Amino acid sequence: MKKKHKGENRNISKMELVAILSRGEGTWTQVSGLMKYNEWDKIILIGDDFAKNFKHEKKFEFVKVDLNQKIVELKEDILKKIKDKIKGTEVALSIASGDGKEHMALISALLSVPAGIRFCALTKNGVVYL
């Protein structure tokens, strides 16, 4: 029997996954793995024109934003576009892609929905909450 590691979640499914896809396709691998190796109620990916080229075997909803906006405008833009898409009280969040400004805008927008945040990552032991 596989030993559970500290931080590994036994019931991460039945949540919505929200992730940012920023410049640099190399950072998209983590997001792709999270999508592939877990069952999600819904997958919401946020990015700009560059990120709309992202492809995956699983269905996802793409929310286009201009990542070059100033942080307050970016937060408000994300909030406006995701507010009605999030149905649960908390989401699994991946910020493996993106920079600090994008992360702060996304986290602030999610908290303003309001939705709780559970950071998640794909590790060699599977999908875990951090």
Confidence of residue 1 (pLDDT cuts 50, 70, 90): very low
- Quick one: DSSP state of residue 25? G
* pTM beyond 0.85: yes
The lowest-confidence range among 20-24, 88-92, 123-127 is 20-24
Let me know if residue 5 belongs to a domain. Answer: no
Let me know if residue 13 belongs to a domain. Answer: no
Provide the domain count of the chain.
1
Let me know if residue 18 belongs to a domain. Answer: no
Domain that holds residue 103: 23-129
The lowest-confidence range among 13-17, 27-31, 51-55, 86-90 is 13-17
Let me know if residue 8 belongs to a domain. Answer: no
Let me know if residue 58 belongs to a domain. Answer: yes
Let me know if residue 10 belongs to a domain. Answer: no
Q: Which amino acid is at 16?
A: E
How confident is the model over 73-83, as pLDDT tens digits?
999 999 999 99
Domain with residue 95: its CATH number is 3.40.50
Query: How much is the mean pLDDT over the chain?
Result: 89
Let me know if residue 11 belongs to a domain. Answer: no
Let me know if residue 55 belongs to a domain. Answer: yes
- Is residue 114 reached through a cis peptide bond, with omega within 30 degrees of 0 on the bond before it? yes
* pLDDT value of position 85: 96
